[in-house]
Amino acid sequence: MQTDRNYRYYDLIMAAFVAVLLCSNLIGVHKVSSVNLPFYGEYIYGAGVLFFPISYLFGDILTEVYGFARSRKVIWAGFGALIFASLMAFAVTSLPPARVMSPEQQMAVNTIFGQTPRIVLASLTAFWLGEFVNSFVLAKLKVASGGKYLWVRTVGSTILGELADSLVFYPVAFYGLWSGEQLVSVMIGNYFIKVLWEVLATPFTYIFVNFLKRAERVDYFDKNTNFNPFSLDT
């Protein structure tokens, strides 16, 4: 059980986490881009995959510094924000347009903000599972390693968290709509981009974590933590 104390930066990190999560899901989800890679050719990926891994970076920092229980609250805050955003998008796209709005404008709004129930279900389920796997693994690795080898915890937890996310999202969202080959190709390609992102961000993770531990005077170890994801106790 953590002591009930206030932290200077905890709320700011929570707000940043939710902002990144919403932006990567609302802005980046409809943009498909590509890059030509040596020995591979055209590599197609969703633009949101470049920014969504930042949420895992924040998840790592929250669990490493403040512990699993406080990270759990942030995950639920992000989950709630995604639900609200999905309901708002459904309401906005369902409302009849005014006469001053052209059919092209209405189509553009529906294209940008419209989401099928299947995509919403895939996004919510994958996010929830992936973030909790990421936080749980990092917390356990921290105790097992005695707080050493931060890079092993951040990269290792992301490997498993993003794997859980990808294995849920792509089949739920696109099975039957894409060919099996395309689904597996995109899933694997985007998965490696997410993990690579975490690896490249490792130096910044060290800087941010060390700063927070000094500023907040906390370095929490989850030795007696209740890891039930549905509990909000701290």
The maximal CA–CA distance of the chain, rounded, in angstroms, is: 65
- Pick 45 or 6 by higher pLDDT: 6
Q: How far apart are CA 54 and CA 67, in angstroms?
A: 18
Share of the chain above pLDDT 70, in %: 96
According to the model, what pLDDT value does residue 53 have?
84
Stated pTM of the model: 0.90
Lowest mean pLDDT among 23-32, 100-109, 135-144, 162-171: 23-32
Asked if 170 and 199 count as a contact pair (C-beta separation under 8 A), the reply is no
According to the model, what pLDDT value does residue 5 have?
75
Domains belonging to the chain, first-starting first, are 10-215 (1.10.1760)
List, for residues 13-49, the tens digit of each pLDDT value. Answer: 999 999 988 888 777 666 677 788 887 777 777 777 7
According to the model, what pLDDT value does residue 2 have?
57
Residue bearing tokens 């929570």: 14
CA distances from 16 to 6, 166, 215 (A): 18, 23, 18
